[in-house]
Structure 1
């Protein structure tokens, strides 16, 4: 024991003489020369308590995420792994009345490459902000932007489907399956005959190039059903370019100064000229203002005395001195003096007056939209005293204004389709149709039965027939089919140096089936070509390629 005790009491000399002088020999950064002390029990207890509290916190959070929020996070996880996407349906095919495809998917939307169909068919594109707001469209789906593509969009576009895609961590599709099958759009058959449409467009284009017209419009309508057989607007845009997304091509068409996007038959407004004389004549008959056999003498002008300045009478020109003409002959030669007289009155002959002119114009569908299934249709203008006061700084209506309105001038503006519909009323003995682009419609398209005597309509039809056999539309006098027509010329532009050249009518004469209208737009005053030449070329073509329409 003594030896053990003594061993424990032996001290190192450094321990005896440890003082500040030998501290620099220690590496204090490594705690050399520091006497260690054991950690107290209290410190250990505090550390263990902190770890225990942290463990409880993490355990509680784990339980919360697993039990309380487990379903939410499981759903979120699945959504991160499974992606739901829309499947857009194929659009329906657009056919003409004979089953010829005019628009189809291959795989993108394509249109018949033949010129003449774009204004009817329209094109597709992505919805704009207004369309997204108003309807349940997806920003990435194609919709009809105008024409048949637009008006029948709900039928053509079908119903969207839904597809589920499984995505891996790298964002790649591992698998997919269809949750809801997309339903393809239904096909639509329109009333247009693609053969007639294409040929009529070509004829109008060729005539415009030959005689200096800037454009043209035409319509052919079935006077028994209201179906539109052809509806031509020249020039036009290209549907395939508009649907392709070709920015440069689209900008070129939009910037073209020829109004490619104006659908002339329904949105173009033109002074109708002498084509309006048909409705002035039938109004005068319906009002018992004149007998169809009474003659009015045309010396080449109508001279209206000026009571304030007798030396300066008002003079209203005729196209020539026609002599004594009755109603049928007046229609055939298009005597302005005759229609000045029955329109505004002169001498002992009472005229319709502007209110009755407006009444019969509206009765035949002018001044209102036809109701065809197309966008941006115009109603037109029938001038009257209120219209003049509004547009001419309060000026009053004068007799001369009535005279000019009676021959389809002044502020009178119509669309070509309105003219085709009005002629159909004459051909059908009083049926005012709502024109349609649907082939073989199941519902009646008769909008109104006009209450005018059949014999009055017959007088007008006979006058139109004389116009073809020995009048201003003799160009249509063909042995292949009997045509009834009324021509018209309206001077336009600065100095009245340009013209719109009209023809309207129906065929066959004995059993009317189709009404027609053609207007050649903005041609030189000197030309002798116009709508009549267009229709003659079309009728000659029909004899060979579409004779069923001439029977």
Structure 2
């Protein structure tokens, strides 16, 4: 039953059926008495209802919190669940990729150019190191002292690298290996990792062709699967282009650990497969011959930079590829210090730059003339019997100054046909067929460029090496003048091509009309063989090709290569050239690019050779003796 509150003069009394008094009633009784005395009891109620607005706000906040909670739960379980489960698994499972033996690189005669040697690295796993940052720092400090490493750089890499595995030192010396084994307990979470490193046979002889391997860097590691911080990866040359083939398939070893970091199980989850070896088209003895011949030229002329490319015109196979100065690629596989890297990369001679295939290339000088002559024959500007008077100089009106501008030959030649013009490098003949003169209408710059592009100039050859450049051809605009066409016709002016581009174009003349893609790798052992890739054929009249070939043969028999290539064991054909560098000797002579492009035997060519030597003082012969030595070796095997 309910109790009732009544009042009598100055007193407050509760009437109830039972005599039991509950604690809260004491408070209510006091409150009621006070209000009764003040006359408010009849007007006030002890309970005040909550407003509808407050209820709505409270209910809305509750729903919002519920929605946020639900969304986060959904995100963790449905979207991030796999990631978190994987993280949790990795907290107790340590995956180690077992680096497979890397494939070997061999030349065409199966001569090994690189071998794998055992090496040892010192690696720390952050997950197994002490939790305390101070303890980790102490380990790093002791390691830096023992390994003669810079502590600041080591700690910076340790702090910034998100990978749990940290490579502290690669290619440990025998002394470091012994010390680390003795003091193993001083480095909890760290261990010595057995690895392999590359050793290149005669490293600087083949550096630009083979490239090199080095430790994988952080950005590469983030974008590749199956690699660990201790792995070597191809960085340049064949090593980079055929990384997947040479590397093989790594194994995977998993160690299960409990919450205290104790090993509870070990298993081999994936068996590794050794990398496949690759066989190159390279004739390593030819490469060595070219390098030594160029070094002899350097000592005789004072030049210091050069490039050479040899191709098989039947297949496009690269028989040799030389760039000087070179570098020892073993420096990278052994672990290049920052100081050594700075010294190498800042060397003004740029030994890392592959002059044979990279960059813009060089102005060709007169080695362009067979291709300009081919264009003139194809476009019926001349015939093989056309004879033009080639004066010592040709003078034309300059469209801007309105004055005479003269273009000279290197000597007077007189009447010349296309064969003699190629053999003796008659500049004024090519001025006339290239740009025209008086009543003779020449090709014009646009058609010259059209044929150069057909021969592959101005675009990459797609050789199977990284870092290829495409050269640069001139842009014909409103400021182009006749003199510019004259310069283009003899390989001067604002354009450049790589030695490789000259070699592939010459191969198309040597093999009578097939432009082939150059190929470094001949086959993968136990796998694929690479057939020649045809870029273009039937784009030239065979009769016109033969005229140009005869002109290049005449270069050897009674032209600019006579005395150098005319007493070889086989018949050869060639075109020599020099191009201006823009630099002058103290006594006023020009520094030149010295070129030769040649092929042999003449009837059934087996080799195309291109050589360019930089900064040759005017009057010196540089490229011809190199070609001579290379052909003498090649045809006396």
Alignment TM-score > 0.5, same fold: yes
- Mark the CA change 1:273 to 1:106 in structure 2 (over 3 Å): closer, same or farther: same
State how far apart, in whole Å, the 2-side matches of 1:531 and 1:186 are: 38
Aligned equivalent of 2:102: 91
User: Residues 354, 308 of structure 1: CA spacing in aligned structure 2 closer, same or farther, 3 A cutoff?
Assistant: closer
Q: Indicate the larger mover: 499-508 or 185-194.
A: 185-194
Report if the CA contact (8 A) 1:343-1:402 is conserved. yes
- The residue correspondences of 1:174-213 to structure 2 (distance < 5 A) are 177-213=267-303
Which residue is equivalent to 1:36? none
Residues 159-203 of structure 1 deviation map (CA, whole Å, 9 limit, x = unaligned): 111123477999798985533222111111111111111121121
How many Å apart are 1:536 and its aligned residue? 0.6
Change in Cα spacing, 1:314 to 1:86, as seen in structure 2 (3 Å) is same
Relative to structure 1, the CA distance from residue 492 to residue 182 in structure 2 (aligned partners, 3 Å threshold; closer, same or farther) is same
| Larger deviation, residues 292-301 vs 417-426 | 292-301
2:516 corresponds to 1:427: no
Greater shift after overlay, 436-445 or 410-419? 436-445
- Structure 1 or 2, whichever has the larger Rg, is 1
- Does residue 352 (structure 1) correspond to residue 435 (structure 2)? The answer is no
Worse-superposed segment, 499-508 or 208-217: 208-217
**Which residue pairs with 1:109 in the alignment?**
198
CA contact (8 A) 1:358 1:384 kept: no
- Aligned counterpart, 2:553: 465
1:303 to 389, 395, 401: 395
What is aligned with 1:415? 498
Q: Which runs of 5+ in 1 are unaligned?
A: 1-74, 387-394, 547-551
C-alpha displacement at 1:235, in angstroms? 0.8
Which residue number corresponds to residue 486 of structure 2?
403
Residues 500, 534 of structure 1: alpha-carbon distance in 2 compared, 3 angstrom cutoff: same
Q: TM-score, normalization: structure 1?
A: 0.79
In 2, the alpha carbon distance for the partners of 1:306 and 1:81 equals 82
RMSD: 2.4
Aligned equivalent of 2:354, options 255, 258, 263: 263
CA distance in 2, matches of 1:150, 1:331: 40
Query: Is the Cα contact below 8 Å between 1:161 and 1:183 reproduced in 2?
Result: yes
Counterpart of 2:414 (choices 313, 323, 329) is 323
* Distance across 1 between alignment mates of 2:494 and 2:596: 20
Q: In 1, distance between residues paired with 2:440 and 2:90?
A: 86
Deviation at residue 204 of structure 1 after TM alignment: 1.1
Q: How many residues align?
A: 461
CA contact (8 A) 2:107 2:284 kept: yes
The gaps in structure 2 that reach 5 residues or longer are 1-85, 119-196, 524-528
Offset at 1:209? Answer: 2.4
Structure 2 CA distance for aligned equivalents of residues 76 and 315 of structure 1? 77
Partner in structure 2 of residue 507 of structure 1: 600
Change (3 A) 1:510 1:299: same
- d(CA) in 2 for partners of 1:404, 1:292: 23
Matched, 1:122 2:211: yes
Q: SS of the residue aligned with 2:578?
A: strand
Change (3 A) 1:383 1:78: closer
Q: Tell me how far 1:308 sits from its aligned partner.
A: 8.3
Asked if structure 2 preserves the Cα contact closer than 8 Å seen for 1:489 and 1:501, the reply is: yes
Asked if 2 retains the 8 angstrom alpha-carbon contact of 1:205 and 1:215, the reply is: no
Q: Does 1:220 align with 2:310?
A: yes
Query: Alpha-carbon deviation of 1:83?
Result: 3.7
Q: Helix, strand or coil for the counterpart of 2:522?
A: coil
More deviation in 158-167 or 85-94? 158-167
Shift of 1:125: 1.7
Q: Which has the higher strand share?
A: 2
Q: What does residue 166 of structure 2 align with?
A: none
Deviation of 1:299 after TM superposition, in Å, equals: 2.6
Query: Counterparts in 2 of 1:449-488, with a 5 A limit?
Result: 449-474=537-562, 475-488=564-577
* 1:77 to 1:282, Cα distance in 2 relative to 1, 3 A: closer
Structure 1: distance between partners of 2:106 and 2:319: 13
Q: Summarize the Cα distance change of 1:517–1:174 in structure 2 as closer, same or farther, 3 Å threshold.
A: same
Contact (CA 8 Å) 1:300, 1:320: kept in 2 or not? yes
Cα distance change, pair 303–82 in 1 and its aligned pair in 2 (3 A):
closer
Q: Distance in 1 between matches of 2:235 and 2:202?
A: 19
Report the CA distance shift for 1:516/1:543 in structure 2 as closer, same or farther (over 3 A): closer
Query: Within 5 Å, which residues of 2 pair with 1:151-162?
Result: 151-162=241-252
State the distance in 2 between where 1:465 and 1:447 align: 26
Give the aligned partner of residue 549 of structure 1.
none
The worse-fitting range, judged by mean Cα deviation, of 432-441 and 415-424 is: 432-441
User: Structure 1 residue aligned with 2:254, among 146, 159, 164?
Assistant: 164
Secondary structure, in 3 states, of the residue corresponding to 1:521? strand
Aligned CA distance change for structure 1 residues 245 and 79 (closer, same or farther; 3 Å): closer
Partner deviation per Cα, 1:109-140 (whole Å, 9 max, x = no partner): 11112532000111112333442343324333
1:190-239 deviation line (CA, Å, top 9, x unaligned)? 11111111121121122122211121111111111110100111111211
Q: Is the 1:241–1:250 contact (alpha carbons within 8 Å) kept by the matching residues of 2?
A: no
Structure 1 residue matching 2:633: 3-state secondary structure: helix
**Partners in 1 of 2:223 and 2:90 — Cα distance?**
30
1:367 maps to 458
- Asked if 2 retains the 8 angstrom alpha-carbon contact of 1:344 and 1:403, the reply is yes
Q: Which moved more, 1:490-499 or 1:354-363?
A: 490-499
The separation in 2 between residues aligned to 1:437 and 1:423, in whole angstroms, is 18
CA 1:438–1:361: 2 relative to 1, 3 Å:
same
Pairwise CA distance, 1:92: 0.8
Question: Once the 2 structures are TM-superposed, how far is the Cα of residue 94 of structure 1 from its aligned partner?
Answer: 0.9
Q: Could you tell me which residue of structure 2 aligns to residue 526 of structure 1?
A: 619
In 2, Cα distance between the equivalents of 1:129 and 1:135? 10
Q: Which moved more, 1:421-430 or 1:439-448?
A: 439-448
1:293 aligned partner: 385
Alpha-carbon distance in structure 2 between the residues aligned to 1:539 and 1:301: 36
